[in-house]
Amino acid sequence: MSSIWESCIKHLEQDIPPQQINTWIRPLQAQYSNDGLSLFAPNKFVLDWVIDNYKEKISNIINGLEKKDVRVSIAIGSSKTTHTRPSFNNQKTTTNKQTSAAFPSNLNSSFTFDNFVEGKSNALAKAAAIQVSTNPGEANNPLYLYGGVGLGKTHLMHAVGNSILANSPNAKICFLSSERFVSEMVSSLQKNKINQFKNFYRSLDLLLIDDIQFFAKKERSQEEFFHTFNTLIENNKQIILTCDCYPKEINGLEDRLKSRFGWGLPIAIDPPDLETRVAILKNKAELNNVDLPDEVAFFMGSRIKSNVRELEGALRRVLANSNFTGKPITLDFTKDALRDLISLQDKRVSIDNIQKTVSEYYKIRIADLLSAKRTRAIARPRQLAMALAKELTNYSLPEIGHQFGGKDHTTVLHAQRKIIELRESDQKIDEDYKNLLRTLSH
Amino acid sequence: MHPQIPLPFKPQDEYNFNNFIATGNELIVQSLNTIENEFFIFLWGASSTGKTHLLQATCQQQALQGKTVCYLPLIDLHTLSSDILDGMDGIDTICIDDIQLISNKRDWEVSLFNLFNQIKQQGKHLVISSTQSPQQLGIQLNDLKSRLSSGLALNLTPLDDESTVQVLQNRALKLGLELNQDTASYMVNRLPRDLASLWVLLEKLDKACMTEQRKLTIPFLKNTLQL
C-alpha cells in the first residue's frame, strides 16, 4: 500500500475514532501515481459514505503532506491490476489455491477425489462424479447432486473439474455459485455486455454451478440459464449442478428448468454414517499433521452428527486448544475442549421434538404415538421415531422406551432393527426416514 | 465561586491486544494474533466480554502489517441494506460484530452466505462475533448456518472480579482520574457488573470530581451516586 496513504491515515486517526477508521478508511485500497491518489472502495455504500464524510479531509491532508495540489479520486473497485475473481469479463486471474490453468476455472485444487472420504451415504455420488470426469458430456448430463448442507457436494464438483483439467489442460471450465451467475448477468445487462456474457458461458466445456436453489424467483436469470443449459447440452458439454433438494422440489424455479435438471440422474448425498464421520475427522486431522486417536474420533463422530462442517469446526477447536496448551489430544481433553458444543448437541434434538416432527409428518396424534396401539398406521411411525431417537440423541434404549409411553427397551431395539431392515426393502420407508432425518438435523 | 465546568473531552478508545485483559481468554487472543493460520474465527460471549475490543484490535494489528481491513458494526448497519457486504471479498481481513442482529433477516443472511463463500475462495480472513454460538444463533439459512459452524468457534469467558478492577482502573487512568484499588473494588462489588454501565458511572464520577475538585473516594462515590 502506498506510504503516502498510510501517512494520511495516521493524520485522520487524530480526529476520527479508530472504529470509524476501521469501518470506512481501512477498507479503501490506494494507488498513488503521477495523476494523483486513486482510492478504491469495495462498494457503492462505502464510496458514498467516504465521499460525503471524509473526501475533503483526505484531500486536505494529502495536499498538506505533498505540499502541492494532488488530485484525489475515489471509485468502486480494487487497486490490484489483476482482479482476483474469474468471470466472463475478467479472464486472466488466479487465486492462491486456484488450479493453474490456461483458462481461469475458479477451481479449488485442494478438492480432489483422493481426499474425498467415501462412505455409504456418498458412494453413489462419488462414483457418478468419477464417471462424469472420465466421460464428460456423455452420460449423466447434467450431473445433479443434491442433499443437506455440508455434505461434500461442492467438493465433488471441484474434484470433477480438477480431474478433467488434469487430463485436458486446455479445457474451458468455469465454477461459480448461482448467485455469482445472477450478479454477473445483472452487471452485464447494465454495462451492455450481455452478448459477451452469453458467449462466455455458452462456449464452456464444463460448467459447474453451486447451490442452484438460489436461482429461485430470479426469472431473467433463469431464462438466460435455460438457453445456456440447452446450448451446452446440445453440444455435449458437461454441466454439474448442486442443490439442497430434488429438482422438482425447488420452489420458484420454472418447470422447464426443473425437468431439465432431472435429465441426468439426480443423485442424493446423505449425512455420513458414524464410520464415515470418523474417517473424515481422521483425514482432516492428518491434513494438519495430527494423528487423531481412534477413541477421540469416535467420540466426536458419535456426538456431532449433522454435517461435515460442524465436525470440521469441532476439530479446529480441539486442534487449536491442543496447540495452545501443548497438551496431547486425549478423550478427556477433547470432552473438555468441546463441552459447550456437546451439551448443545445433546439438547438440540430432543425426543419430544422427534415425536412432534414424526407425528406431523404422518399426520397422526402424538398421543397415538405414545399409546399401545399396534395398527400399522401408528406402529410404523412409532418405530421410525424410536429409530430416529436412537440415531439422533444420546439416550439409552430404556430411556427412549420410557419416553414413548413406558415401553420396554427391547421394543426400542426391535424398532431400530426393523427400520434398518425396512429401509433396505421398502423405498418409501427409506425416503421417509431420510426426510425426517434431514428435517431434524437442521 | 463558580463551579469548575469540565470540558466535554472524551479520550479516544484505543483497542489493541496489549490493553485487552486476556484472563481466561488467552487462546482467543493468540488465535486472533495469528489469524493467517485460520480462514475463519467465530467469537461468542455475553455482552461486555470484549468482543468489540478484540475485533478492533484484530483490525489494528492487521492494518499495521499493511493489510486492508474492514470492521463492520452490525449494530449501526443492520437496519440498512445488506448491499454493504458487496465487494468486500477483496479486503484481507473482515471483522463483523454482533452477527446475532441479522439472524432471521433473509437478505442479510443470503448476502453473508455469498460473502463467506467469496472470502473462502479468495483465501482472505473472516472474524465474526456474536452473543450466541453458531448453533444457537437462529440463522434460518441452513447453508449459512453450517458454514458459520465450520470455523474455529471460541467462547469468551467473562472477566473475573480482579480483572474487572484492573480494567476499571485502566479506564480511569485514561480519563485522567485517580481510582485506587479499594474504590475500584467497591465499584465492582456494588455497582452493575457490565462494563458498559460501569463506563457510564465512571464518567459521571469523573465529571463530579472535576466539578467539585475532589478526589474519588468511597464516601464521595456513595454521595455522588446516592448509594
pLDDT in tens, A309-356: 999 999 999 999 999 999 999 999 999 999 888 776 666 678 998 999
Q: Over chain A, what is the mean pLDDT?
A: 88
- Classify domain B26-155 at the CATH topology level: Rossmann fold (3.40.50)
For residue B6, is pLDDT > 70?
Answer: no
- Pairing relationship of beta strands B40-44 and B93-97 according to DSSP bridges: unpaired
From-to residues of CATH 3.40.50.300 in chain B: 26-155
Residues A219-236 have pLDDT tens digits of 989 999 999 999 999 999
Nearest CA in chain A to B71: A23
Task: Kindly state whether B38 is in contact with chain A, defined as any CB-CB distance less than 8 angstroms.
Answer: yes
Interchain pair A149, B69: CB under 8 A = no
- Chain B 160-219, CB below 8 Å of chain A: which residues? none
Q: Is the CB of A1 less than 8 angstroms away from the CB of B72?
A: no
Pairing of strands B152-155, B125-130: unpaired
* Smallest CA–CA distance from A147 into chain B, residue: B143
At A170-184, the pLDDT tens digits run 999 999 999 889 988
C-alpha dihedral, A337 to A343 to A348 to A352, nearest 10°: 160
Q: What is the pLDDT of residues A57-103, one digit of tens each?
A: 999 999 999 888 889 999 998 876 444 444 555 543 434 344 444 56
Average pLDDT of the segment spanning B113-142 = 91
Question: According to the model, what pLDDT value does residue A86 have?
Answer: 47
Cβ-nearest to B149 among A43, A148, A309: A309
Q: Which residue of A has its CA nearest to B91?
A: A27
Nearest Cα residue to A101 out of A165, A167, A174, A176: A165
**Scanning the structure block, which residue is given the C-alpha cell 440463522?**
B139
Window from A125-129, B3-7, B162-166, B207-211 with minimum mean pLDDT = B3-7
Provide, as residue numbers in chain A, all residues whose Cβ is less than 8 Å from the Cβ of B30: 324
Whether the pLDDT of residue A35 is over 90: the answer is no
CB B161 within 8 A of CB B51: no
Mean pLDDT confidence for B37-50: 90
> Which triple of cell numbers denotes residue A350?
430432543
B66–A contact, CB cutoff 8 A: yes
Say how many CB pairs under 8 Å bridge A and B.
144
Element (H or E) spanning A409, and its range? helix A409-425
Q: Which of A240, A261, A282 is nearest to A107 (CA)?
A: A240
CA distance B20 to chain A (A): 16
Grid coordinates representing B188?
A: 465492582
CB atoms B123 and A95 under 8 Å: yes
Q: Does B23 touch chain A (CB under 8 A)?
A: no
Indicate the residue type of A116: F
Of residues B69, B73, B142, nearest to A26 (C-beta) = B69
Q: Where are the domains of chain A?
A: 3-76, 123-269, 274-348, 351-441
Phi, psi (deg, nearest 5) at residue A234 = -60, -35
Superfamily in which the A351-441 domain is placed by CATH = DnaA protein, C-terminal DNA-binding domain (1.10.1750.10)
Do the beta carbons of residue B140 and residue B103 sit within 8 Å? Answer: yes
Pick A324's closest partner by Cβ from B27, B81, B86: B27
Q: Report the alpha-carbon distance of residue A16 to residue B13 in Å, rounded.
A: 11
Mean pLDDT, range B188-208, rounded to an integer: 86
C-alpha B178/C-alpha A413 separation (Å) is 70
Burial status of residue A297 (CB atoms within 10 A of its CB: 0-12, 13-18, 19 or more): buried
Architecture of domain B161-224 in CATH?
A: Orthogonal Bundle (1.10)
* CATH architecture of structural domain A274-348: Orthogonal Bundle (1.10)
Q: What share of chain B has pLDDT > 70, as a percent?
A: 94
Band (B135; pLDDT cuts 50, 70, 90)? confident
Q: Is the domain A123-269 a CATH 3.40.605.10 member?
A: no
Q: Name the 3-class secondary structure at A266.
A: strand
pLDDT of residue A66: 87
The C-alpha cell at A442 is: 437442521
Exposed e or buried b for every residue in B155-171, given b needs 16+ CB within 10 A? Answer: bbbbbeeebbbbbbbeb
CB atoms within 10 A of CB A9: 18
A378 has a pLDDT exceeding 70:
yes
DSSP A134-162: HSTTTSSSSEEEEESTTSSHHHHHHHHHH
Cα–Cα distance, A410 to A416 (Å, whole number): 10
Q: Measure in Å the smallest separation between the Cα of B71 and chain A Cα atoms.
A: 5
Predicted pLDDT of residue A93: 40
Q: ipTM value of the model?
A: 0.84
Q: What is the pLDDT of residue A344?
A: 67
**Residue owning grid cell 467516504:** A50
Contacts (Cβ under 8 Å, ≥6 apart) of B180: B216
Contact residues for B188 (Cβ-Cβ < 8 A; gap 6+): B161, B164, B165, B168, B198
Residue range A3-76, CATH number:
3.30.300.180
- Is B27 a residue whose pLDDT tops 50? yes
Our CA angle for A277, A283, A287, nearest 5°, is 145
Does A252 lie at the interface with B, CB-CB under 8 angstroms? no
Is the distance from CB of B201 to CB of B225 less than 8 angstroms? yes
- pLDDT at position A17 over 60: yes
DSSP letter, residue B208: H
